[in-house]
Structure 1
Amino acid sequence: MTEVTGTAGTAGTAGTAGTIGQQGQGRGGDEGGHAGGEAKACPACGERMPVDRRFVVWCSACGWNADPSDAAPADGGTVDRMRRRMAQRYGEQLFAQLAHEPDEAAAPGPGASGAWAVALATAVHGFTVALLALGLWLLIAGWGEGLQPVLALLPLGLAAVLRPRFGSLAQVKRDAPVLERADAPGLFALLDEVAGAVGTVGVDAVVVGAEANASVRTYGLRQRRVLRLGMSLWATLGRQEKIALLGHEFGHYAHGDTRQSLWVGSALRSLDTWSYLLAPNDGDTLMDQLVNVVTALPRWAVHGLTLLLDQVTLRASQRAEYLADSSAARAAGPAAAAALMEGLLGADGAVTALEREVVAARTRLGGAAARREDPADGLWDRIATRMAAVPDHERARLRKVAELRGHSVDATHPPTHLRYRRIAASEPRTARVVLDEARAATVESELAGAAQAVARQIMRDGRMQ
């Protein structure tokens, strides 16, 4: 399945992310130890700091202890590190540029960088075709002549691994509940309205998962669209924040993103596959070292081509991400879009809360989950209640941590704090789509069956899909 949008995204490394009851500097270990109204003096500047034993104690005046773990993003290797550096640089440049443009500014055409991206992607796919042709030639021309047909298996196998994959809805249905238009007419009417508000069309199916995430993808040769809603995120959002989330995801279709096109996107995935196949062995044997030496040149060639393709696509991709945020603000209003962005910084808290529920259910420890016959009942409501209890001073700390670490959803997204600042500074405007209470109830009732199935699956399996 071809992913067409970047995720609106979990802010996976943006600090403790509102998790309740974790251990660490400045924290208490008891989930029930809320000390509302308590305060103490900051040891650095003397200002009074609110104390809540569920969360990090920090000073908003001077920033003391805002990021006690001081953890860097996970190291994904050379390509990932270079992608993050480029994403940070382009994100800051585009933030300054877009500050002087109206939110409705259209994305520029692909231009020279788009042409280069298509050319590089064509070279990647051309190599796959060359492998296929070589394998077929060895197989056919050398049939009955010793080892030639056997040698054909290697290029044919590589061509099969690197081939573009289009996916199908049948594959999706094997892994998660899927809703189509006949299953949820109210939900799809809302999706169509939000899509229309940002200048595109809706989706053909909705996949319901457990993760704190959302994305739009395409599948099949006709590139039909499917929306994936992670309940750990969806359940924690207010009504207009849900509209903002949908507006962001559909906004990727309203603003061109060469990186996520079928041709270029599949080439990037092929290069990722090559990087995986050519990754150096960790072993110390002579054979491991020999393999590493033999694969060094093609490995660095793949790394170089990946970074070159990143270079010509990343700026346009980041611009599309900023403009998707503008689509969220246009559909739901700037306040709701900013609240969504802030909520994403704390998405790890929802994941941690879900993990705690799973542990409690599987070990039958005390608490509400252990007393119910089916711990999946009310799971998403409990996650939402936990996240609603995150106080304002913790949300402010997460924004601070995101800025200190230069956090982004992944190695290709603009820095999260810049995305938040841009939306928060937007001119007030009326939302194009308003989700009232009655309509929201209809949508949630149509999602309820799939959401319950996901809750039961994760309680049974103990892991995300």
Structure 2
Amino acid sequence: MRTAEEEVVSSCPRCGVEIRTDRRFTTWCAACDWNVDPQGPGERQRGLAEVRRRIAQRHGELLFTELRAGDGNSGGRTASGLLAYLIALVVHGLTCVLAAVGVWGVIAGWGGLGMAFGLFFLALAWSLRPRLNRLSDDDRVLLRDDAPELYALIDEIAAAQGTRGVDAVVVDAEANASVTHLGLRGRLLTLGLPLWEVLSPQQRIALLGHELGHFTHGDTRYGMVVGTAYRSLDTWLLHLRPIPNPNVIHAITNLACLPLRLLVTAVVALLDLLTVRSSQRGEYLADGASARTGSTEGATGVMDRLLVSDSIVTTLHREVNSRRMRGRGGADGQVSEGLWEALAAHMDSIPEYEYERQRRVGALRGHSVDASHPPTHLRRRLLLDGTPMPASVTADPGRSERIAGELADVRRTLAREVVRDGFESQ
């Protein structure tokens, strides 16, 4: 909790209103917005990242207006969605053509130069192949036998939404959470422990409700066909990226690759444009699922935590650096002990006016979790402008304790790894 020594009382230099703030956070005036965003929007992203940000923000605002008026709820296939599927099939078709050319080159040019070209095209096609999501050996996976209470909670939330639960849970060190398909028919939930640890039990239910809501409301962008096409296009851009610090030959190569790189970038931007409505709509509807499952208060509480996610990262950096300095020569377990508790304590001490400042900054900058999400302040407003929803799944203290016990080993392991290797490497 915040102490009296941390409180600072001053007057706003613009309007003269008394300001009471915490010395750990930005001093600003809620009456006139003086110093609400002292750092400004920062440097704009460039290229494809900036195009994606602008597309997401514009469509997020348009869809917010429609949903607020009661429109925009129509699901199903749309002309833009069908066109996105067609483009994705063309992308995969090109990969098949490259593979066919490679096979022909190997057979026709066996033992000669043509064979080398054939092997090149086969290698290129292999790198561009549609790849389904798989668990890796480095993933910290919890299966049903490892965490029966956690899976029972997930199943209860899924049943409340008319869908099914997940087949695997991966825990990592990101301040985020996500769901995706696993293989052909499986479902994977990824829980970022830094985010999970700073949420209340009811907010955790709202978080799970949001993520499972993505399975209830389809999102073309992350479906199997379009999603794997995105990965293939990203691989194209990786192959075609400019060579840094080029010599003459490299400069000629960069110039020769430029038209193809621009074409691939244009295809990615077109896919973004065609799928953005589905993606944005899916986020808004997942927010509604979050509120119905964990309550409006729980859902908006998760959004507030995401607004101050930079503070989660900063606090972890500070804690990790401090513990590494104190623990030189000590046991990893002793040095990392209490890491997540310290993070949660700091987040609980953030005053409400800092959350309000972040909300106003978000409205000024168009803050979103990433380029696939609508602006966070619009997501929050859409929930708060509607009828407040009670939770259909409530936090049971006994279950929360049992889930904490199931996560105990991975909490200790992840804390040791974060302190030992540094937070940036996670």
The TM-score normalised by the length of structure 1 is: 0.87
Q: Return structure 1 stretches of 4+ with deviation > 6 angstroms.
A: 370-373
Q: Distance in 2 between matches of 1:110 and 1:435?
A: 36
Tell me the secondary structure at the aligned position of residue 374 of structure 1. Answer: helix
Aligned mate of 1:39, from 1, 9, 29: 9
Query: Residues 277-336 of structure 1: CA distance to partner in whole angstroms, max 9, x if unpaired?
Result: 212233252222211211111111101111111111111110111101111001011111
Q: Distance in 2 between matches of 1:397 and 1:208?
A: 31
Aligned mate of 1:117, from 84, 89, 92: 84
Cross-structure match for 1:224: 186
Q: Comparing 201-210 with 241-250, which one deviates more in the overlay?
A: 201-210
Contact 1:39 1:49 survives alignment (8 Å): yes
Contact 1:113 1:312 survives alignment (8 Å): yes
Query: Residues 407-426 of structure 1: CA distance to partner in whole angstroms, max 9, x if unpaired?
Result: 11112211111111112222
Tell me the secondary structure at the aligned position of residue 51 of structure 1. Answer: strand
Shift of 1:50: 1.1
Shift of 1:242: 0.4
Unpaired segments ≥5 residues, structure 1: 1-19, 21-30
Cross-structure match for 2:126: 160
Contact 2:92 2:229 survives alignment (8 Å): yes
Query: Residues 159-195 of structure 1: CA distance to partner in whole angstroms, max 9, x if unpaired?
Result: 11111112433x1xx2232111111111110000111
Q: Distance in 2 between matches of 1:373 and 1:319?
A: 44
Q: Read off the aligned partner of 2:34 and give its amino acid letter.
A: W
Shift of 1:33: 8.7
Q: Distance in 2 between matches of 1:371 and 1:34?
A: 34
Q: Distance in 1 between matches of 2:203 and 2:365?
A: 25
Contact 1:33 1:54 survives alignment (8 Å): no
Give the RMSD, CA atoms, in angstroms. Answer: 2.1
Cross-structure match for 1:129: 96
Unpaired segments ≥5 residues, structure 2: none
Cross-structure match for 1:14: none
Query: Residues 117-168 of structure 1: CA distance to partner in whole angstroms, max 9, x if unpaired?
Result: 1100000000111111111100012113x20001112211111111111243
Shift of 1:81: 1.0
Shift of 1:35: 2.7
Compared with structure 1, are the counterparts of its residues 188 and 373 closer, same or farther at alpha carbon in structure 2 (3 Å cutoff)?
closer
Q: Distance in 2 between matches of 1:196 and 1:59?
A: 45
Q: Distance in 1 between matches of 2:339 and 2:396?
A: 24
Contact 1:134 1:155 survives alignment (8 Å): yes
Compared with structure 1, are the counterparts of its residues 372 and 158 closer, same or farther at alpha carbon in structure 2 (3 Å cutoff)?
closer
Compared with structure 1, are the counterparts of its residues 433 and 107 closer, same or farther at alpha carbon in structure 2 (3 Å cutoff)?
farther
Contact 1:33 1:53 survives alignment (8 Å): no
Q: Read off the aligned partner of 1:330 and give its amino acid letter.
A: R
Say if 2:23 is the partner of 1:60.
Answer: no
Tell me the secondary structure at the aligned position of residue 227 of structure 1. Answer: strand
> How many residues are treated as equivalent by the alignment?
424
Q: Distance in 2 between matches of 1:289 and 1:57?
A: 49
Q: Read off the aligned partner of 1:243 and give its amino acid letter.
A: I
Cross-structure match for 2:208: 246
The TM-score normalised by the length of structure 2 is: 0.95
5 Å-filtered alignment, 1:249-398, equals 249-364=211-326, 374-398=334-358
Cross-structure match for 2:366: 406
Q: Distance in 2 between matches of 1:46 and 1:307?
A: 48
Q: Distance in 2 between matches of 1:430 and 1:244?
A: 11
Contact 1:107 1:319 survives alignment (8 Å): no
Compared with structure 1, are the counterparts of its residues 137 and 239 closer, same or farther at alpha carbon in structure 2 (3 Å cutoff)?
same
Q: Distance in 1 between matches of 2:29 and 2:327?
A: 35
Query: Residues 22-67 of structure 1: CA distance to partner in whole angstroms, max 9, x if unpaired?
Result: xxxxxxxxx989433x321100111111132100000111111111
Q: Comparing 46-55 with 119-128, which one deviates more in the overlay?
A: 46-55
Compared with structure 1, are the counterparts of its residues 393 and 365 closer, same or farther at alpha carbon in structure 2 (3 Å cutoff)?
farther
